[in-house]
Structure 1
Amino acid sequence: MLKFKLLLWGLTKLLQRAINNNPACAKYVRGKALTFQIQTLGGIGRHFTIQNGGIRSTAGLTQSPQFTMTFRDAAKGFAILSAKDGKEAFLGALHKEDLAIRGDFVEVMWFQGLTEYLQPAQKKAH
């Protein structure tokens, strides 16, 4: 459970760094207003707010997120969120019902685009 909580906190820090250091990421979030949460079935989680070109998060849940990602438990959430093959892990988790997504799927897809800025830059072959 602690690893899951730390991972969610760390996600905020990584996104903040991407916004501050990558002009394309800063442009991507500019003008966006979004509140979402990542949690477990047991109610452990964190909610995130993207507003005014930045992101912040708070431990605990909010009453009206635009979307929610709910993992079966903290161990599954940690494994899926920290997987090297993120997209495959998410799709597998949805298929196995280890992850449920509720809310505005357009916003979920927008968030998926934001997480692309967390990927290390690919080296170009010469």
Structure 2
Amino acid sequence: MKFRFLLWMLGLLMVRASRRNPAFQQQLVGKDLVFQLQTTDGKVARHYVVRDQRVSSHGGTVPSPAFAISFKDAAYGFATMQAKNKQLAFMQGIQDKNIQIVGNTGLVMWFQGLMKYLQPRKKK
């Protein structure tokens, strides 16, 4: 349940950033794609549509996303996406075959770059 909520919240944050954050919008220029995050068994899945410098989020899978990131299970996906060092957690998961990437790996790197725009602002 936590992983499902995390994917939904990620969508909400990306939708909001695509409307309000000029730096985030700049990262979306020229992108027209669909990507998804899911568990390997597909029981928990969410896809995200990037079009016209906007992001929308929808439950479920699509037949042919530009890339898909599959986690071995929901608990592992939640732990990986909440890790302090997310990049290290992803790399370790890929090496251990707990995370599978299907599709354009260059776009996965682009997606990971988007995440820095979704971090909460630090109070001064």
Q: TM-score, normalised by structure 2?
A: 0.89
- Residue 81 of structure 1 deviates from its aligned partner by 1.0
Count of residue pairs the alignment pairs up: 123
Please tell me the residue identity of whatever aligns with 1:21: R
In the alignment, is residue 81 of structure 1 matched against residue 72 of structure 2? no
Q: Could you tell me how far apart the structure 2 residues matched to 1:56 and 1:20 are?
A: 11
- Residue 122 of structure 1 deviates from its aligned partner by 6.9
Q: Could you tell me how far apart the structure 1 residues matched to 2:102 and 2:64 are?
A: 11
Which ranges of structure 1 fall in alignment gaps of 5 or more residues?
none
Q: Could you tell me how far apart the structure 2 residues matched to 1:100 and 1:59 are?
A: 20
- Residue 15 of structure 1 deviates from its aligned partner by 1.4
Deviations 1:8-42 (A, max 9, x none): 00001111222233211111113311111111111
Q: Could you tell me how far apart the structure 1 residues matched to 2:120 and 2:13 are?
A: 12
What SS does the aligned partner of 1:89 have? helix
- Root-mean-square deviation (Å): 1.7
Q: Identity across aligned pairs (percent)?
A: 43
- Residue 121 of structure 1 deviates from its aligned partner by 5.2
In the alignment, is residue 92 of structure 1 matched against residue 102 of structure 2? no
Which ranges of structure 2 fall in alignment gaps of 5 or more residues?
none
What SS does the aligned partner of 1:61 have? coil
Q: TM-score, normalised by structure 1?
A: 0.88
What SS does the aligned partner of 1:97 have? coil
Alignment partner, residue 102 of structure 1: 102
